[in-house]
Structure 1
Amino acid sequence: MYSRITRCIIALLVLASCKSENKKEESNTWRTKKAAIENAAHNQLLDVEKKEGWKLLFDGETMDGWHLYNGPNANSVWEVVDGELHSNTNDESLTAGDLVTDQPYDDYELVLEWKVAGNGNSGIFINVIEMPDVPTAWQSGPEYQMLGADHMDYNVPEKRPGCLYVFQPQQNKVEVKQGEWNKTRIKQVDGKVTFYLNGVLTAEEDFSTPQWKEKIAGTHFSKYPEFGRTTEGKIALQYWYFETWFRNIKIREL
């Protein structure tokens, strides 16, 4: 039989060992999580995404699949930096304008991540008609609104992030993560569109109805005959004088 002193010593050694193992486990867990964050793969498709029909709209290295609206050969403000699609606002020799997909889409689901400067303003235009006599993407394509939290319109109900710009306030309130990546999802089927910001439903509209035409007639967009008239078109990323970043742009046709 062990003496009382010996038993105490053994108990202390066991306790110290447990604490050491706990610390080791916590340390290993933290290192694993940290490594996962640091080594997260962007602009790539998982095997399950490929099976579901997802395709990359941005490969993280080139501008393939995109061009400047009405300026496919222009030396534009858009560039790829560190695996991110970036709007360069500092070089005035570059051609400013919205970036548009080479291909049109009708029924689809689009997901992407974005950041914008604190007082920045950007957006995603859908169903864009690219024509020489339509000078800008916003004159044909309804807009998913993107704003920095310091922008003067941030708290204007019909101009909040994730809104169908000008037409309706956020369906459910959600804030942007300033300085961090925000997640957007846009789904359109038979003209019925839904917008999401950071997992929250922010807008719903049916572009195929007479009511939609009536809504257009009540806004300044009524001056532009091509605006909102189709449920098929190109997707455009808005350039608006402040830096914007995009990554993980994926689409699947439905």
Structure 2
Amino acid sequence: MTLDTHDETGFRPIFDGSTLSGWHAEPRVYGSLYPGGPHLTDYIEEHGMKIPEHPELHAARWFVEDGILIGEQSTPGYGGYLVSDATFGDFELVLEARPDWPADTGVMLRRKTDDWAGFQVLIDHRESGGIGGFFGNGLASFSALPFAVVSRRDENGTIVGLAADDPPTSVEPVTPEKIARLSYAADVNDFLDAWKFGEWNEIRIRCVGALPVITTWVNGVKIAELDTATLDSPDYDPDAVLAHLGTRGHLALEVHDNDEMFGDARWAPGAQCRWRNIRVRDIESQEQSA
């Protein structure tokens, strides 16, 4: 396992450690499956599934405690986002995360104002969850990730760490198609060696380009890279995505809701996601071409 080194100059904090200044909460509401496509709720109803009703009335709860930014469900079963007031174009984002288990969270990039669409970096800290891969919220729901994980338990049934998910028995298997969408995919064992269960883990995200190349690292280990300009996935149209998102967007931290597929296995009652040391560095055009 090789640890990448990074230039740490030029970063500025976007969380002050004591308030939610520069951020605002939004409920987890839904929109079109992809630009110009059907609404998610219509699709779900056609397939006999349900999502929480009136999510706009139940935003997640976000607060700061002892220098830590914490997100949790305010109404059981309902999720939400903490969205940056500022927008970002090409950037490198670094933050530390310590989610409970299970807590399905993540970081959205290039998120639209008043729209659920954006690229998501997954931190699905749950059974069959992907960490460091990608999902397309409102962008044809593409899934691109190198692996998934499950809990590792001791003889008493206590969770003591993570292990590789087994695709044949997985609730949400990582298929060869999901891996093939990536231009770089880490070996799950390198991730497992790097991830510190129950402790703080550094997530680094680099996002560069009009249709960005997005790269992730966990504790210095490169996890995944996705070229959204060449991504091949059903109903994903890069030209339509660029026209819809533009070249700048908000960041958003996620508290997931509970759906029929996972229920409390997606977000446990009382679970929290925790964040600290959130900082960003704008990437200038000359650096992009270097």
- TM-score class normalised by the smaller sequence: 0.5 to 0.7
Partners in 2 of 1:204 and 1:229 — Cα distance?
20
Could you tell which deviates more after superposition, 235-244 or 106-115? 235-244
1:135-154 counterparts in 2 under 5 A? 136=116, 140-148=117-125, 151-154=126-129
Shift of 1:229: 4.7
Distance in 1 between residues matched to 2:59 and 2:26, nearest whole Å: 12
Corresponding position of 1:243: 272
| Conservation of the 8 A alpha-carbon contact between 1:69 and 1:98 | yes
Deviation of residue 225 (structure 1)? 6.8
> Could you report, residue by residue, the CA deviation over 1:139-168 in whole angstroms, capped at 9, with x for unpaired residues?
x111111132xx2223xxxxx211123223
Aligned with 1:62 (options 3, 19, 22): 19
Cα 1:248/1:216, change in 2 over 3 Å: farther
Shift in Å at residue 69 of structure 1? 2.7
5+ residue gaps, structure 1, are 1-47, 155-159
State the shift of 1:80 in Å: 0.2
Asked if 1 retains the 8 angstrom alpha-carbon contact of 2:93 and 2:205, the reply is yes
Following TM superposition, where does structure 1 have runs of at least 4 consecutive aligned residues deviating by more than 3 angstroms?
Answer: 224-231
Alignment of 1:1-254 (within 5 A): 52-69=9-26, 77-89=61-73, 91-92=74-75, 96-131=79-114, 134=115, 136=116, 140-148=117-125, 151-154=126-129, 160-165=130-135, 166-170=143-147, 171-172=185-186, 173=188, 174-175=191-192, 176-190=195-209, 191-207=212-228, 209=229, 211-212=230-231, 214-215=232-233, 217=235, 229-240=245-256, 241=267, 242-254=271-283
Tell me: CA distance 1:245–1:203, structure 2 relative to 1, closer, same or farther (3 Å).
Answer: same
Length, aligned pairs only: 182
Question: Cα distance, 1:178 vs. partner?
Answer: 1.6
Structure 2 gap ranges (5+): 1-6, 29-57, 136-142, 148-184, 257-266, 284-290
Specify whether residues 216 and 65 from structure 1 end up closer, same or farther in structure 2 by C-alpha distance, changes over 3 A only: farther
SS at match of 1:177: coil
CA shift, 1:227, in A, is: 10
Secondary structure of 2:80's counterpart equals coil
Q: Distance in 1 between matches of 2:128 and 2:278?
A: 26
CA distance in 2 between counterparts of 1:228 and 1:163 reads 22
SS at match of 2:144: coil
Q: Which amino acid aligns with 2:133?
A: C
**Alpha-carbon contact 2:103-2:272 (below 8 Å) kept:** yes
Report if aligned partners of 2:27, 2:60 keep a CA contact under 8 Å in 1. Answer: no
CA–CA distance in structure 1, aligned partners of residues 101 and 60 of structure 2: 23
What one-letter code is carried by the residue in structure 2 that aligns with 1:183?
Answer: E
Q: What is the rounded CA distance, in whole Å, between the counterparts of 2:234 and 2:242 in structure 1? A: 11
Give, in whole Å, the separation in 1 of the partners of 2:21 and 2:127.
34
Q: Report the TM-score, using the length of structure 1 for normalisation.
A: 0.63
Match of 1:35 in 2: none
* 8 Å contact kept, 1:104–1:232: yes
TM-score (norm 2): 0.56
Please tell me whether the aligned partners of residues 60 and 81 of structure 2 are also in contact (alpha carbons under 8 angstroms). no
Residue 255 of structure 2 aligns to a residue in which SS?
A: coil
Q: Comparing 184-193 with 54-63, which one deviates more in the overlay?
A: 184-193
